[in-house]
């Protein structure tokens, strides 16, 4: 005799049917996800190969050591490359301590109240604001109001604007990295008599640092390719000099690789398009070198 009542058999059958349907949906979603990833990689590979072969004839030492020129055979990236390096170094110096400090304060020390919640909501919203808005803000604040300090349309104004652009990303990444550290470590440190700052400094922050560096890498990767805010600030497309390595050099006009590439792409001559493709390759090499350095530091701290 069957020991299971009829109602129990019907329930088990219905449960098995729903489970199989759910597995089918999971498999379909997984398949679509893999298709999307593969298509993205294929499109990216095709674009990279096309850019590489277009820019290869102009990818030489002269490209890196020459200033921009009206003649495509003499045009180079020297001032734009140095300007990009200046911008990224200054942006990292400004953003990292402020962004990480704000993330640590909001996550570890701030009280749970309405004011804190308003700040958190605004930081999350600022991470999605279009970059042109930050360019307009930088134009008004750093170029016009703070002109005596920044020198107007200068390297310092550009770095401050890019810092505002990526600060929300660094703050959010810092908070998420701190949340990933188990609370038991905080409680153990406090139980041993350490202050809250000592626990954060000696235990929590070192464990969260790899995740913080990952967020910083992503933020700087966004900043290095931004064109709209720099155009709004008034970055030049033709500079035949390099800023000096001094405080006065921070207040000099500047250009950057995205600005120079944009200028060459907008030219009607086909030769300038070839130079622009070579500039894109240089920009990707700088991006990979910057990310590689950050990843090395992240893995070192992670060990």
Higher-pLDDT residue of 6, 226 = 226
CA triplet 281, 286, 290: central angle to 5 degrees? 145
- The model's pLDDT over 88-146, given as tens digits with 9 standing for 90+, comes to 889 989 999 999 998 998 888 887 788 888 888 888 888 778 888 888 888 888 888 88
- The model's pLDDT over 249-260, given as tens digits with 9 standing for 90+, comes to 787 888 888 888
Residues 128-146 as b or e (16 or more Cβ within 10 Å = b): eeebeebbebbbeebbeeb
CA 217, CA 288: separation in Å to the nearest integer?
11
pTM assigned to the model: 0.80
- The model's pLDDT over 217-234, given as tens digits with 9 standing for 90+, comes to 888 888 888 888 888 877
Side-chain half-sphere exposure of 99, counting CA atoms within 13 A: 32
Please give the pLDDT value at position 1. Answer: 45
């Amino acid at each position: 005799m069957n020991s299971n009542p009829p109602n129990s058999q019907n329930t088990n059958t219905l449960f098995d049917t729903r489970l199989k349907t759910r597995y089918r949906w999971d498999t379909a979603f997984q398949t679509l996800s893999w298709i999307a990833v593969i298509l993205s990689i294929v499109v990216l590979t095709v674009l990279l190969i096309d850019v590489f072969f277009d820019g290869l004839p102009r990818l030489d030492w002269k490209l890196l050591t020459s200033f921009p020129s009206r003649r495509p055979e003499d045009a180079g990236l020297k001032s734009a490359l140095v300007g990009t390096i200046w911008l990224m170094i200054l942006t990292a110096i400004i953003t990292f301590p402020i962004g990480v400090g704000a993330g640590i304060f909001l996550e570890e020390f701030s009280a749970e109240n309405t004011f804190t919640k308003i700040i958190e909501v605004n930081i999350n919203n600022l991470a999605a604001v279009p970059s042109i808005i930050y360019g307009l803000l930088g134009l008004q604040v750093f170029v016009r109001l703070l002109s005596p300090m920044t020198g107007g349309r200068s390297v310092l104004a550009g770095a401050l604007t890019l810092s505002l652009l990526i600060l929300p990303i660094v703050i959010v990444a810092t908070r998420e990295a701190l949340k990933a550290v188990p609370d038991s470590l905080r409680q153990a440190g406090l139980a041993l008599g350490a202050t809250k700052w000592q626990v954060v400094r000696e235990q929590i922050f070192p464990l969260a640092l790899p995740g913080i560096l990952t967020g910083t890498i992503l933020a700087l990767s966004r900043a290095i390719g931004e064109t709209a805010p720099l155009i709004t600030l008034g970055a030049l497309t033709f500079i035949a000099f390099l800023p000096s390595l001094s405080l006065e050099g921070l207040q000099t006009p500047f250009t950057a690789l995205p600005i120079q590439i944009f200028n060459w792409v907008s030219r009607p001559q086909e030769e300038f398009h070839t130079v622009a493709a070579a500039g894109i390759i240089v920009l990707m090499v700088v991006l990979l070198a910057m990310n590689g350095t950050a990843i090395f530091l992240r893995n070192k701290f992670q060990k």
